[in-house]
């Protein structure tokens, strides 16, 4: 029993993952349809997603999901048939339905609890709104008929009608040809129970019982089964799901499932939409849904029997699998032709993808980190004992570990575009709340970032976008009076910069009023009236807790909370946020984040008796200063680099070390966000791979240090936070 429960739990996990992806696709597609309601492919994609969710939910016992999605599917079906026109209000309703489906899935799969009264009420409200578009006040709540007796008709088969169904041209119903084996009853199976269960997946339009195999009365065995059925079946489930009804008697009976005529074009479309994987014909047909694994195995067995039965010297070439399937009436010729075309298009490609559990990937990253530390220990030991063969081996091992680390880290890097696209819905909803017309422009979709960082950046980005719309973008009348377009613009952009990721949230709104910020700062005690604050200092005040210049509180903002949380969350990711604003031109918020939170290439230096690691991608050059240059740099506070003065920072003094610096000091020129600085250190050790370890809550706020790493001999080295150092100067 426990094994069954575990299996069901795993099925629900897969169901949730797949539904999450389909629901996000539904949201994106609905937003596309709002601007282009005539997009037929988008409508078809919506219907397929709802249809798949409904069918899958029934198989794993999520009845509430299936019942509600069935009503949504009915509306999408009418839209697809051109009976209902898409409107803005309908898009809003379908977006609410998508959210409700997501909630139902969470409740039934994760919580396993009953629906709350609030959830039931919301479902009834949405169903009522859907029925208005359907013009049907008595829409059935369930997807099928349960516990109704099967109407077994003894009418003769209409040969003309069935031939039309077999051709797969006109009929919109499935045709199931079923012949039970003689041993079915002895094996404890009741044929009628399978027919009854079939009604849960749809409606039996007609059923004809066949007695052709029944012997004469004196030869009849009462424990044997001689029945066959020809069934015309109306259902939205796919071929595999219908075949699964007869899974327990598959070995004892012959089943032939012929799809509806309108399914042929759908299968062709699905095959054409398959990901770019090099598949055999049979696999393409299975992936496209036109063929089940069992049907493919039967056809392959038939193909092998044909070859084995040939006489010696005869042609050994096997009949094509597609030809066998068409001759058997399992697949339509048009579908096989589409699969052949797909195979030809992909025969030179060899890329395959698989779904990997994120927890397993995180475990792999941790193990690679331990390998990096162990590899560093071997290298240091080889250097210490000066064993040449061991040094060569350690060098090779370090290179291989580096390659493994690089490839493993790439596995966790994902494009930020999917996260950006989610904000289309947020902007749409906020626009309707605020009665503003705003366009969201997205750039840098392909920029890749660590999965963990992407997961944690969603809330800060949401807050920045809401602020840009509420505080930044003006009302249409105000924009027109300023000779701006009535429609405001918010831009989301992501790009690489000096080993980091920069995410920009930019609006073309009113910008921040510096004079207003100054008055508010004095009023709230954030600044002294006698002190002149720079523009940058004034702008950064918006990140202070409780600071707000909003004249009124709205649904979106104005309470003086949130921006300080945004700053704190970003700093927790070893990043920072800065701001630029110009009155009546707009505001730009820039979030600077590390590419990864796990492993980096670094350059190790010595300061007094301690070791520090500087991220390698932020280093421009290492220079050794003469004693005269040291004195000059300490006195002036800067050094000349490429004919430009850059800040000179002595890490011995910055970190309050008590050690004595060397006579000839070394400096490391670092760069971040177009700013440079010279970090003075005692010793230069060279490149290392650093596995980033958190300093914990006690030391989490130490200035200029972003973490620590463990060296091969167990020594701890601190990782220098270059962005915060440059920002401080």
Helix (H, G, I), strand (E, B) or coil at 514: helix
Residue 505 to residues 115, 268, 358, 466, 586, Cα–Cα distance (Å): 39, 42, 29, 10, 11
Residue 382 CB neighbour total at 10 angstroms: 20
Buried-state track 274-296, b at ≥16 Cβ within 10 A, e below 16:
eeeebbebbbbbbbbbbbbebbb
The CA distance from 430 to 68, in Å, is 26
Nearest CA-CA partner of 237 in 55, 12, 34, 72: 55
Which residue stretches of the chain have pLDDT < 70? Answer: 1-11, 58-60, 111-113, 136-171, 261-322, 324-355, 498-499, 527-530, 547-561, 597, 656-664, 696-701
One domain, residues 102 and 12: yes
**Residue 349: what pLDDT?**
45
Domain end: 594, 618, 641, which one?
A: 594
Token pair in block for residue 464: 């920045």
Give the total number of structural domains in the chain.
5
Residues 203-213: pLDDT tens digits?
Answer: 888 888 877 77
The CA distance from 473 to 440, in Å, is 12
Q: What is the DSSP letter of 416?
A: T
Give me the half-sphere count of Cα atoms (radius 13 Å) on the Cβ side of residue 83: 9
Q: What is the DSSP letter of 148?
A: P
**Residue 663: what pLDDT?**
54
One domain, residues 511 and 587: yes
**Residue 551: what pLDDT?**
56
Q: What is the dihedral of CA 40, 45, 50, 54, to 10 degrees?
A: 120
* Residue 312: inside a domain: no
Strands (E) across 585-703 are located at: 586-594, 599-607, 610-615, 619-624, 638-641, 644-650, 666-672, 675-681, 683-691
Buried-state track 103-120, b at ≥16 Cβ within 10 A, e below 16:
bbbebbbeeeeebeeeee
One domain, residues 52 and 89: yes
Domain end: 594, 626, 654, which one?
A: 594
> Which CATH number do you get for residue 30?
1.20.120.160
Q: Provide φ and ψ at 375, rounded to 5°.
A: -60, -40
Residue 624 to residues 31, 639, 643, Cα–Cα distance (Å): 58, 12, 17
Residue 597 to residues 14, 428, 590, 622, Cα–Cα distance (Å): 28, 33, 19, 25
One domain, residues 205 and 128: no
One domain, residues 570 and 610: no
* Residue 144: inside a domain: no
Q: What contacts 550, CB < 8 A, 6 or more positions away?
A: 471, 557, 558, 560
The CA distance from 475 to 41, in Å, is 35
Buried-state track 680-717, b at ≥16 Cβ within 10 A, e below 16:
bbbeeeeebbbbbeeeeeeeeeeebbbbbbbbbeeeeb
One domain, residues 420 and 405: no
Q: What is the maximum alpha-carbon separation in the chain?
A: 119
One domain, residues 211 and 251: yes
One domain, residues 340 and 248: yes
Q: Provide φ and ψ at 500, rounded to 5°.
A: -130, 175
Residues 612-656: pLDDT tens digits?
Answer: 999 888 888 898 888 888 888 888 888 888 888 888 888 888 876
**Residue 434: what pLDDT?**
79
Residue 519 CB neighbour total at 10 angstroms: 14
Nearest CA-CA partner of 612 in 572, 565, 670, 569: 670
* Residue 616: inside a domain: yes
The CA distance from 615 to 600, in Å, is 7
* Residue 353: inside a domain: no
Domain end: 414, 443, 467, which one?
A: 414
Strand order in the sheet with 644-650: 619-624, 666-672, 675-681, 644-650, 638-641
One domain, residues 435 and 401: no
- Residue count of the chain: 729
* Residue 357: inside a domain: no
One domain, residues 179 and 326: yes
Token pair in block for residue 515: 């004079």
> Which CATH number do you get for residue 422?
3.30.565.10
Token pair in block for residue 304: 């092998």
The partner residues of 603 in beta bridges, in order of sequence, read 614, 687
One domain, residues 11 and 29: yes
Tokens 């409107």 found at: 87
Interaxial angle between packed helices 63-80 and 40-59, expressed in degrees from 0 to 180 and rounded to the nearest 10: 160
One domain, residues 431 and 550: yes
Q: Which domain holds residue 174?
A: 159-307+320-346
Token pair in block for residue 685: 């050790």
Tokens 């398959």 found at: 274
**Residue 328: what pLDDT?**
65
The CA distance from 377 to 398, in Å, is 10
Token pair in block for residue 285: 């047909």
* Residue 356: inside a domain: no
The partner residues of 709 in beta bridges, in order of sequence, read 717
Token pair in block for residue 587: 């505001």
DSSP string of 311-366, one letter each residue: PTTS--PPPPHHHHHHHTTSS-HHHHHHHHHHHHHHTT---------HHHHHHHHH
Give me the half-sphere count of Cα atoms (radius 13 Å) on the Cβ side of residue 547: 23
Residue 525 CB neighbour total at 10 angstroms: 7
Is-contact 52 4, C-beta < 8 A? Answer: no
Token pair in block for residue 295: 């049907």
Residue 48 CB neighbour total at 10 angstroms: 20
* Residue 541: inside a domain: yes
Residue 364 to residues 356, 368, 384, 710, 714, Cα–Cα distance (Å): 11, 6, 30, 18, 22
* Residue 574: inside a domain: yes
């Amino acid at each position: 029993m426990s094994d069954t429960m575990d299996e069901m739990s795993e099925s629900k996990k897969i169901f949730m993952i797949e539904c999450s992806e389909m629901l996000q696709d539904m949201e994106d597609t609905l937003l596309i349809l709002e601007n282009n309601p005539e997009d037929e492919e988008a409508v078809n994609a919506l219907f397929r997603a709802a249809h798949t969710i409904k069918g899958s939910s029934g198989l794993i016992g999520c009845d509430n999901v299936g019942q509600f999605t069935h009503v949504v599917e009915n509306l999408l079906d009418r839209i697809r048939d051109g009976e209902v026109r898409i409107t803005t209000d309908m898009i809003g309703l379908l977006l609410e339905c998508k959210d409700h489906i997501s909630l139902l899935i969470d409740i039934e799969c994760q919580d396993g609890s009953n629906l709350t009264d609030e959830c039931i009420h919301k479902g009834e409200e949405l169903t009522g709104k859907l029925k208005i578009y359907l013009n049907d006040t008595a829409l059935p709540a369930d997807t099928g008929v349960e516990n109704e007796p099967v109407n077994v008709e003894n009418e003769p088969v209409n040969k003309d009608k069935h031939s039309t169904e077999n051709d797969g041209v006109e009929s919109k119903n499935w045709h199931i040809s079923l012949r039970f084996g003689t041993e079915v009853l002895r094996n404890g199976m009741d044929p009628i129970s399978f027919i009854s269960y079939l009604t849960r997946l749809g409606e039996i339009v007609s059923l004809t019982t066949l007695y052709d195999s029944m012997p004469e009365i004196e030869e009849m065995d009462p424990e044997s089964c001689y029945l066959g059925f020809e069934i015309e079946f109306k259902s939205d489930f796919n071929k595999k799901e219908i075949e699964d009804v007869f899974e327990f008697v598959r070995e004892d009976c012959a089943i032939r499932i012929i799809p509806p005529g309108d399914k042929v074009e759908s299968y062709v479309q699905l095959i054409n939409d398959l990901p770019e994987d090099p598949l055999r014909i049979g696999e393409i047909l299975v992936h496209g849904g036109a063929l089940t694994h069992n049907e493919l195995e039967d056809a392959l067995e038939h193909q092998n029997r044909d070859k084995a039965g040939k006489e010696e010297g005869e042609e050994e070439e096997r009949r094509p699998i597609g030809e066998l399937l068409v001759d058997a009436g399992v697949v339509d010729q048009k579908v096989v032709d589409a699969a052949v075309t797909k195979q030809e298009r992909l025969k030179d490609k060899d890329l395959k993808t698989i779904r990997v559990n994120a927890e397993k990937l995180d475990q792999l990253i941790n193990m690679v980190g331990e390998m990096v530390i162990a590899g560093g220990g071997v290298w240091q030991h080889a250097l210490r004992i000066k064993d040449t063969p061991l040094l060569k081996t350690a060098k090779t091992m370090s290179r291989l570990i580096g390659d493994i680390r690089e490839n493993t880290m790439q596995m966790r890097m994902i494009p930020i575009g999917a996260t950006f696209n989610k904000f289309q819905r947020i902007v749409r909803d906020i626009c309707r709340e605020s009665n503003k017309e705003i366009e969201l422009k997205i750039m840098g979709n392909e920029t890749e970032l660590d999965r963990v960082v992407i997961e944690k950046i969603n809330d800060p980005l949401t807050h920045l976008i809401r602020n840009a719309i509420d505080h930044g973008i003006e009302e249409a009348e105000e924009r027109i009076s300023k000779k701006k377009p009535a429609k405001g613009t918010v831009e989301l952009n992501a790009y690489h910069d000096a080993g980091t990721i920069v995410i920009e949230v930019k609006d073309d709104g009113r910008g921040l009023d510096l004079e207003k910020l100054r008055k508010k700062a004095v009023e709230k005690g954030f600044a002294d009236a006698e002190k002149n604050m720079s523009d940058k200092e004034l702008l950064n005040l918006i990140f202070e807790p409780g600071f707000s210049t909003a004249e009124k509180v709205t649904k979106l903002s104005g309470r003086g909370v949130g921006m300080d949380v945004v700053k704190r969350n970003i700093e927790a990711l070893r990043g920072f946020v800065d701001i630029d604003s110009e009155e009546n031109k707009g505001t730009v918020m820039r979030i600077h984040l590390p590419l990864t939170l796990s492993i980096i290439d670094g350059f190790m230096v010595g300061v007094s008796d301690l070791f520090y690691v500087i991220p390698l991608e932020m280093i421009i050059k290492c220079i050794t200063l003469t004693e005269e240059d040291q004195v000059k740099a300490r006195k002036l506070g800067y050094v000349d680099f490429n004919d430009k003065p850059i800040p000179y920072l002595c890490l011995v003094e910055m970190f309050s070390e008590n050690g004595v610096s060397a006579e000839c000091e070394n400096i490391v020129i670092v760069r971040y966000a177009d700013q440079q600085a010279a970090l003075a250190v005692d010793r230069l050790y060279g490149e290392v791979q650093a596995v980033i370890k958190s300093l914990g809550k006690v030391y989490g706020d130490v200035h200029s240090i972003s973490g620590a790493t463990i060296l091969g001999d167990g020594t701890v080295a601190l990782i220098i936070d270059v962005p915060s150092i440059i920002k401080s100067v």
